[in-house]
Amino acid sequence: MERVLLASVEVSRPVEEVRRSGVRAPAAAGDIEATIRDAAARQGADPDQLLRVAWCESRYNPNAVNPSGASGLFQFMPATWAANSVRAGFAGASVFDPAAAANVAAWMFARGSAGQWTCR
């Protein structure tokens, strides 16, 4: 009897590790890491926490889209992005703009809203 692989599920060890607070994320491309660190400094958030979340949520891909509707570097749901991008001073910015997404996420984290993400 020949076996045929019908599906494969691959869980990357780093992603699972990053879900736990305090674990460092893999290095990001220089521009993404610099963007996230700059946003963290501007908004008063922990840059390492933001890097962990961006890695876990999108693997640092600012164009990531999830079937659930979450999008961008930090996988914002549309309603969350619409409300918080305005509050953070990024009204009209695209969720796919890494600088805007990093600043809105950092703004939210600095105000105690990190719990909206599964990854921390």
pLDDT at 23: 57
Percent helix, strand, coil in the chain (nearest 5)? 50, 0, 50
How far is 9 from 23, CA to CA, in rounded Å? 23
In tens digits, what is the pLDDT along the chain, a chain of 120 residues? 554 444 333 334 444 444 455 556 665 677 999 999 999 999 999 999 999 999 999 999 999 999 999 999 999 999 999 999 999 999 999 999 999 999 999 999 999 999 999 887
Please, which residues have CB within 8 angstroms of residue 13's CB and are 6 or more apart in sequence? Answer: none
Cα torsion 30, 36, 40, 43 to 10°: value is: 130
How far is 49 from 105, CA to CA, in rounded Å? 11
pLDDT at 25: 60
Token pair of 52 as six digits: 């962990």
Neighbours of 113 (CB within 10 A): 13
Every domain of the chain and the residues it spans:
14-116
Highest CATH level, class, for 14-116: mainly alpha
How far is 53 from 40, CA to CA, in rounded Å? 12
pLDDT at 100: 98
pLDDT at 110: 97
